[in-house]
Structure formats: structure tokens, C-alpha cells
Amino acid sequence: MDLVAEQKIVQNWLGSFHCNENPWKLAFIEKVGRGLIATRDIAVNELILREPPLIIGPVGNDKSSVICALCFKLISTADVCSNCLLSVCSGCLEKGHHEEECSFLKSLSLNTTESSQQLDRCLTIARGLFLDKSKKNILNLMQCNCNNETENMIDNLLKQAHHKNGKLRNELVRTAAVFNTNAFQIVVNLSSERKTDLRGLYPLMGLINHSCSANCRYSTDSNYIMSLYARKPIRIGQEIVISYAKMLWSTPSRQSYLKITKQFTCKCDRCNDPTEGSTYLSALKCFRHTCSGLLLPVDPINFYSAWKCSICSDLSDYRRILRMQEVVSCMVDAIESNKSAQEIDEFINNRLLKVLPASNQYVVEMKMKIISFNLKDRPINHCELVEKYCLDVLQLLEKLQAGECTLKGIIQYKLFQCRQLIANTRKYSKSEIESSQRKLLMNAWSILKDNIVAPIDLSNTIENWSL
């Protein structure tokens, strides 16, 4: 199918979400295939497109809170459909929103608790069965990468159900493979302390290619409509790209994640730069105790590359680097969730910084852990520590040339909160801090205003400041 025909199908799918003024079009991108390019210059924070989900549902992992499988609201473990054992709130049951899925799930005869838990993990995929013809055509056009794990998950489900329908099996396997390739994970704030994960298919968004130095951010609103915004200026003819990996991951972490989950090796400018824009997220301290240099990969996109010291030029085999990374990863994973900010800070200074430079990904992750703490009823020294690490991360984002990314908005709002609490304990005049605080708040709002990952109290804070 040519790009013109494919663009028409996509526009028909978008319906009222598409208009002729949208500044994008499908194009063939050299070395990567189809993607989106800008049809005119696009300004920072400008809306590029909006898209509803084709399919959306719970991830169903063990860490997720118990949510209704239909409206995704927090429910008790007792809210279960008596016919199919799915977690469904009374409101959705009363409105009859569950009937079609219930009939199908009941036909599988999964009657045990164990099967019900497995069904929760497969539910989102099963929703592909209930799409109308036009939406199924969209689903069938989407790229898919199947693997043994996907097939085994579906086969085990159907085996438990004593189901031998080959057509059903193939349809479920293909939908699962489409999810593996294209699904977006959506984090939903259920409360100030609890979150859950959803997975959604967005066909047009799924066509947007990856770059670790992306020029766009995406957000999902409370109706699960996904919006794409420019986080940097985009020139006419330039490719529109997003990042599939976390921004503060080092190159080895991003490369490993992309290889496992997306089956490709990223060769963007950031991945080819051993220093990652002078952030040194991958760097380790030189193994020679008398040397203050940093070890960096000679060839960052080659897993088996030697690492070279920036001062003494000593080379280290990749196996030695891998062992060090594994040791540090175990140290970080061993940190208990109930540790205070001060205890984590001591761990950073007394343990991590003995073997890692302050720029390393694992150190940054610990700083982010401190930043994520709720500030309510925290002592002032906690707020000062969070303020310090917020500034560190913002400086890191600046070096990465991340633009107006989602993480920047979240960090700026946390910095705003810290400084409000600190100001309340000191004798500042209102005018001394109001201007800078207003700027922080306005910028955070411009990034997070229609995003369900935004802090729950952000909109109320905006109202209180009359912005």
C-alpha cells in the first residue's frame, strides 16, 4: 500500500480528530521506513495531533492496583463480575458496558482464581476481537513482531479453557504481537500515593519513529485521548520523532531496552556520543585508584565494546564493565521502599559515589527517588534536599537538550512546591519569590495541563494563583 492510500486510511480513522491544518504527513524515511514529517514549521509546545485509542485496557501486572477493567477506577477486591470473574465496578455492571466481553470470557470457562488473574493480563488483547470491521482493518495494518512468549501466553490461556479454535488463537496472537510492537504504557494517578498502568494502541502514534533526542512529547488526558506536542522547534520537512525509552537512562540501558522490546538498535546522535551530550550518564570511575578519569565506551552502540579512561587511556573489557553495572544495580535494587530521603542521600554519598561519578544513571535514579517523595509534613531539610536534586536534574535535561519534555514539567512543579514550603519558614517578602515561582508554575502547567500524569493538585494550584 502506498503512502497516499495509507494517509487516507489514517485520516478516516482519526475522523473529527483530524483537520487539514494538522502540520504532519506520512513519508518514507531513509533507513527506518515510514514515519511522520512536518509540513510546516512547528513552534515549541504547539499541538501536532490528537488521537483516540483503538484498544485500551489494564496491563494486569502484579504491581497494579485493583482497578475496574472498564472505567479503570480504583475498586475493592470484592468488585468482581460473578459470571466471568473479571474485576468490574458496580457502576459499569449496571450500565451494561460489560455484556459483550462477559459473554466471551464466560465461554472460555475460566473458573479458578489463577485463571482469572491470567485473564486480566490477556483481557486487553482480547478486546481486539470486538472491534468493528473498519477498526479491525486498522488493527491489521499495524506492524507486529511475534515471539514465543506471546504465543505461549495465548496457548496457555486457551489450553486452560479447553479451547481449540485455530482462527481465534491466530487472531489473539496477532493482536498480542501488535501490542508488543506498538503499545503505549499509560500511567494513571489514582491518588496522590497510588498509580496504575494501562496499555493502549494508537495507530497513528504507532507510526512515529524513535529518537533518544526526540523533538516531541506525548500526553494522555482523562478520556485517554493522546496528544502530541513539539518540545523543540521543528522545521518544515523535519521528521517528527518521540522517545520509546526513558530519557535519563544511559545508552547501555536504552539500547538493551530497545533491543528487547522493539527489536532494533538505535543509532541516533545521542547513542553515538560516548558522553551523551556531556551528561556522562553511562560513565564509571576508572578502576585505577590513583586515576580520577571516567570510563566510557569506545563504541557506545556496540554491547561488546571496550571502555576507555578519559585520562589514563586504560582499556577495560566489556565483561568487567558488565559485572560492575550488575553489582551497582543490585545495590540500588536492595534499597528498601521505606527509606527516608536522608537515608537515600547517605547511600548516594557513602556507597554509590565510591564507585560511580555523580553523573551516572544509577546516582540520578536515586536522586529521582528522593524527588518523588510527597512533601507533606516533611522537615525543611528534606525540602532543601529535594530542591537541590531538582536543580541537578533540570541541569541534566538542559545538557540533553530535552526541550519542553514531560519530565521537565514534573520537576519544575516539584521545585515550585519545595520553594513555597522553604519560603514559608523564612522571612522573604512576597515579591522576592513570586515572580520566579509564577514562572516555574506557568511553565509546568504549559507542559502538563492535559496530561493524566500531572500531579493531582496542579490544577488547584493554578486556580489559587489565578493563572
The 10s digit of each residue's pLDDT in 341-386 is 999 999 999 999 999 999 999 999 999 999 999 888 888 999 999 9
Between 253 and 103, name the one with better pLDDT.
253
Go through the chain and tell me how many residues it has. 467
CATH topology of domain 3-52+202-242: Beta-clip-like (2.170.270)
Distance, CA of 62 to chain centre: 18
pLDDT at residue 58, as a whole number: 87
> Which distant-in-sequence residues (6+ apart) come within 8 Å of 275 by Cβ?
283, 296
Phi first, then psi: give them for residue 182, nearest 5 degrees.
-120, -15
pLDDT at residue 239, as a whole number: 97
Q: d(Cα 227, Cα 23) in Å, to the nearest integer?
A: 13
Q: d(Cα 445, Cα 249) in Å, to the nearest integer?
A: 25
According to CATH, where is 2.170.270.10 located in the chain?
A: 3-52+202-242
pLDDT for 243 beyond 90: yes
pLDDT in tens, 408-467: 999 999 999 999 998 888 766 667 688 889 999 999 999 999 899 999 899 999 998 876
**Where is mean pLDDT largest: 150-154, 179-183, 320-324?**
320-324
pLDDT at residue 383, as a whole number: 93
> Under DSSP, is residue 377 helix (H, G, I), strand (E, B) or coil?
coil
pLDDT for 267 beyond 80: yes
pLDDT at residue 104, as a whole number: 83
User: What is the average pLDDT score of the chain?
Assistant: 89
Phi first, then psi: give them for residue 3, nearest 5 degrees.
-65, -35
> Which distant-in-sequence residues (6+ apart) come within 8 Å of 312 by Cβ?
286, 288, 291, 293
pLDDT for 84 beyond 90: no
pTM over 0.75: yes
Distance, CA of 291 to chain centre: 38
**DSSP category for residue 394:** H
CB 12 within 8 A of CB 163: no
pLDDT at residue 91, as a whole number: 87
Start-end of H helices in 263-358: 269-272, 318-333, 341-347, 353-355
Q: d(Cα 458, Cα 467) in Å, to the nearest integer?
A: 12
Q: d(Cα 54, Cα 98) in Å, to the nearest integer?
A: 17
Mean pLDDT across 210-217:
97
Mean pLDDT across 25-54:
94
Residue 86: burial class (beta carbons within 10 Å; 0-12, 13-18, 19+): buried
What percentage of residues in the chain have a pLDDT greater than 90?
58
CB 119 within 8 A of CB 105: yes
Mean pLDDT across 172-191:
88
Q: How confident is the model at residue 65 (pLDDT cuts 50, 70, 90)?
A: low
pLDDT at residue 439, as a whole number: 94
pLDDT at residue 111, as a whole number: 53
Q: d(Cα 50, Cα 227) in Å, to the nearest integer?
A: 4
Strand pairing of 239-242 and 209-210? Answer: parallel
Q: d(Cα 80, Cα 85) in Å, to the nearest integer?
A: 6
Between 106 and 202, name the one with better pLDDT.
202
Lowest mean pLDDT among 68-82, 148-162, 271-285: 148-162
Q: d(Cα 208, Cα 108) in Å, to the nearest integer?
A: 36
